[in-house]
Chain A
Amino acid sequence: MAFRTAFTLVTAAVLLAACSAANPDTPVTTSATPSSTFVGIDGVQSDISDTSRIVALNGDLTETIFALGAGDRVVGIDLTTTYPEAAVGLPSVGLGRRLVAEEVIALAPTLVIGDTQIEPQSSIDQIRAAGIPVVILDLQVTLPGVIRKIGTVAGILGVEEEGLALAAAVQADIDQALVVASGATAAPRVGYVYVRGPETLLMFGNGMPTHFLIEAASGIDALGEVGVTFAVPLSAESLVAAAPDVLLTPTEGFEIIGGLDSFLSLPGVSGTPAGRTQSVLHYDEALMLGMGPRTGEALMQLVLDLHPELSTP
């Protein structure tokens, strides 16, 4: 790292000297793409001089880049990308959470963007060693975090104006959903059960995106209330103790395990009010968990689904 910094400084000095020697009377010209540095949440400073070929390692980051109108710069996505359609056809580098350096390098990107979920660190190091900047962003799970993420990505891409416009639009969507939610007269107890397959069952609690969405939608995060924090393996006991009136789950996993009947037979579900009344709502995983530009849309849908009293006149 120190060597790289020193090397960059020396190179810059030599280039400056060369430029001023060649044109002693004209000021040093800057390149077409303004060069900038970005310090990621991992403390690593990246020199970003070219954002023309981007590999995005999380679906929500791809979504954000496309919403900023910079989708044509994306040359690679990860397997969690399901939206927008224009992105889904792009070359995939596999799972960002099981990153393989070769897959990324082979796409010859000039910039790689991911967040703290990207693993293993050794793959990130290998991509950086190949001279490709990898910026690691903080994971955003709250509603204000959605706006922060848009601002950060826009800043990295040098599209600050588009960033401000998108942030304002997303904030307006969120605010609209919050206004509707404020008219709710009931506060249902809601639990999020994450299902990927019959053996991958988790429950989400405090600190997860679903916690903030449920609370914003005038619901009570029932699992968070009984002390579930982040994502933990599904425990029948905790689920029953949480006594959720409604259970939420991702559509993809819901369909993989075989729909409502299979979901109701998961450990503990039948012992909850939600199980007895078959109150199970499923949402597109990227929409509900991504905390991307569609968060306002997701929140509005959740508000209306959790509060039937708002739809009936």
Chain B
Amino acid sequence: MITRHSLPSILIVGGLFTIAAVVLGVSVGSTTVSFATALEVMLDHLLPGDLDTSAQADAIVWGIRMPRVLVALLAGAILGVAGTVLQGALRNPLADSQLVGLSAAASVGALSGYWIGYASSGSTVAILLGAAAGAVGAQAVWWLARRVGGEPTRFILVGIGMGLGLAALVATASIAIHDPRIPDVTFWFFGGLGAANWTVVAVVGFFAVVTVGGLFPFARMLDVLSLGHNAASHVGLNVGRVSAGALAFVGLGVGATVGAIGVVGFVGLVAGRVAFSTVGPQHRLAIPASAFTGAIFVALADTIGRVGGRGFEVPIGLITTVLGGAYLVYLITTRRLAV
């Protein structure tokens, strides 16, 4: 069956844009490495044979920028898919992992790891603790929301409340605990990719596979769920089980990104909206489409943040928020989004 948007076409178009984002991302940074040199270093690693690239260029392009771009892509994919799943399951076009408090819950987990001294920037412990806290946070919001009926609106309100409270706790802790080992408050609100290395790529990559791979089988059930919880129950869907299962994967994945790159807002909202409006309401297509959209959005935002050069970086979360906020206003003022 050939439709206008098929899974292969999404993979091809998304893949091409992803490659473009990688090439752009590795050519921009604090120091000047020419576009040609950056390409040479990449080809040197990806193709057999030996190109004559300098050790510094290699250390900068392959040792620092490449893992950074890859972490941005992988984390962006997770956040994008999380946005799509939340928007579908909660029937709310504005749902996002930050909105429903999952990012803040994950921050508490990762921060506590730093506090007791087992985690450091970019360490696997920070990512694992973030993932665990994200999953626990998702279950906590769901459990609290169920106590008052479990409707999507209740879930969102409980999430907003918990999120704001926990975010304030994280801000207080990172300001009050004067410890250079703990990332400062910017990281917990606007993220940062400075600590990316190949280990972080592997760990976040693992969580990307688990999250996207774990949520994809939910696609059909999410399609039914987005008709409304009552309708879904009538056609025999176990709303509670599906919601709890999908939320566990969303919390786990979002939490891992928070442990790795901090809180980067608006990614899920933008990726979910772009995916649904481009490929239609089917989660089977929207999930991969939002993975690519989120990945490219985060990688591009990080690249834009580094354009200034000379060590000056605009925190990535500020860029995603500015772009995401503008997109949201555009959607609403052009009546492309009914709220």
A positions within 8 Å CB-CB of B? 93-95, 98, 100-103, 105-106, 108, 119-123, 125-126, 129-131
Q: Let me know if A102 and B31 touch, CB within 8 A.
A: yes
Q: Is B97 an interface residue (CB 8 A)?
A: no
Q: A100-B311, A122-B194, A130-B63 are in contact. Are A105 and B121 (CB under 8 A)?
A: no
User: B184-198 toward A: CB 8 Å interface, digit per residue (1/0)?
Assistant: 000000000011010
Tell me the residues in window 167-197 of chain B with beta carbons closer than 8 Å to chain A beta carbons: 180-181, 194-195, 197
**How many whole Å from A86's CB to the nearest CB in chain B?**
23
In the complex the two chains form, what is the Cα distance from A134 to B63 in whole Å? 16
Q: Let me know if B311 and A94 touch, CB within 8 A.
A: yes
Complex interface: chain B residues within 8 A of A98 (CB): 311
The chain A residue with its CB closest to the CB of B122 is A122
Q: Is B3 an interface residue (CB 8 A)?
A: no
In the complex the two chains form, what is the Cα distance from A122 to B121 in whole Å? 7
The chain B residue with its CB closest to the CB of A106 is B31
Q: Which of A95, A121, A130 contacts B59 (CB 8 A)?
A: A130
Q: Let me know if A120 and B30 touch, CB within 8 A.
A: no
Q: Is B124 an interface residue (CB 8 A)?
A: no
Q: Let me know if B63 and A119 touch, CB within 8 A.
A: no
Q: Which of A103, A105, A126 contacts B311 (CB 8 A)?
A: A103
Complex interface: chain B residues within 8 A of A102 (CB): 29-31, 60, 64-65
In the complex the two chains form, what is the Cα distance from A298 to B76 in whole Å? 53
**How many whole Å from A123's CB to the nearest CB in chain B?**
7
Q: A100-B30, A102-B29 are in contact. Are A120 and B121 (CB under 8 A)?
A: yes
The chain A residue with its CB closest to the CB of B59 is A130
Q: A95-B311, A122-B195 are in contact. Are A101 and B55 (CB under 8 A)?
A: no
In the complex the two chains form, what is the Cα distance from A101 to B193 in whole Å? 13
**How many whole Å from B184's CB to the nearest CB in chain A?**
10
In the complex the two chains form, what is the Cα distance from A120 to B181 in whole Å? 9
User: B15-30 toward A: CB 8 Å interface, digit per residue (1/0)?
Assistant: 0000000000000011
Q: Is B56 an interface residue (CB 8 A)?
A: yes
Complex interface: chain B residues within 8 A of A126 (CB): 63-64, 197
Q: Is B103 an interface residue (CB 8 A)?
A: no
Q: A95-B311, A129-B197 are in contact. Are A108 and B180 (CB under 8 A)?
A: no
**How many whole Å from B64's CB to the nearest CB in chain A?**
5
Nearest 4 pairs between A and B by C-beta?
Answer: A130-B59, A122-B195, A94-B311, A100-B311
User: B43-67 toward A: CB 8 Å interface, digit per residue (1/0)?
Assistant: 0000000000001100110011100
**How many whole Å from A128's CB to the nearest CB in chain B?**
10
Chain B interface size range = 20 to 34
Complex interface: chain B residues within 8 A of A94 (CB): 30, 310-311
The chain B residue with its CB closest to the CB of A79 is B311
Since A102-B65, A129-B63 are in contact, a sample of 15 more A-B pairs with Cβ atoms closer than 8 Å, ordered by chain A residue number, is A93-B311, A98-B311, A100-B311, A101-B64, A102-B29, A102-B30, A102-B60, A103-B30, A105-B56, A105-B63, A108-B56, A120-B194, A122-B122, A122-B194, A131-B59
B positions within 8 Å CB-CB of A? 29-31, 33, 55-56, 59-60, 63-65, 120-122, 180-181, 194-195, 197, 310-311
Can you sample 18 A-B contacts with CB below 8 Å? A94-B311, A95-B311, A98-B311, A100-B30, A102-B29, A102-B31, A103-B311, A105-B31, A108-B55, A120-B121, A121-B120, A121-B181, A122-B121, A122-B195, A122-B197, A130-B55, A130-B59, A131-B55
Q: Which of B29, B65, B181, B197 contacts A125 (CB 8 A)?
A: B197
In the complex the two chains form, what is the Cα distance from A94 to B65 in whole Å? 18
**How many whole Å from B306's CB to the nearest CB in chain A?**
10
Complex interface: chain B residues within 8 A of A100 (CB): 30, 311
**How many whole Å from B201's CB to the nearest CB in chain A?**
13
Q: A126-B63, A126-B197, A131-B55 are in contact. Are A121 and B121 (CB under 8 A)?
A: yes
In the complex the two chains form, what is the Cα distance from A125 to B197 in whole Å? 9
Residue from the set B64, B120, B310 with the largest chain A CB neighbour count within 10 Å = B64
**How many whole Å from B252's CB to the nearest CB in chain A?**
24
**How many whole Å from A136's CB to the nearest CB in chain B?**
13
The chain A residue with its CB closest to the CB of B195 is A122
Residue from the set A98, A102, A123 with the largest chain B CB neighbour count within 10 Å = A102
Q: Let me know if B180 and A119 touch, CB within 8 A.
A: yes
In the complex the two chains form, what is the Cα distance from A282 to B195 in whole Å? 39
In the complex the two chains form, what is the Cα distance from A49 to B31 in whole Å? 26
Complex interface: chain B residues within 8 A of A129 (CB): 59, 63, 197
Complex interface: chain A residues within 8 A of B56 (CB): 105-106, 108, 130
**How many whole Å from B302's CB to the nearest CB in chain A?**
14
In the complex the two chains form, what is the Cα distance from A101 to B195 in whole Å? 10
In the complex the two chains form, what is the Cα distance from A95 to B121 in whole Å? 19
**How many whole Å from B180's CB to the nearest CB in chain A?**
6
Complex interface: chain B residues within 8 A of A103 (CB): 30-31, 310-311
In the complex the two chains form, what is the Cα distance from A130 to B59 in whole Å? 5
**How many whole Å from A99's CB to the nearest CB in chain B?**
8
**How many whole Å from A239's CB to the nearest CB in chain B?**
20
Residue from the set B59, B122, B181 with the largest chain A CB neighbour count within 10 Å = B59
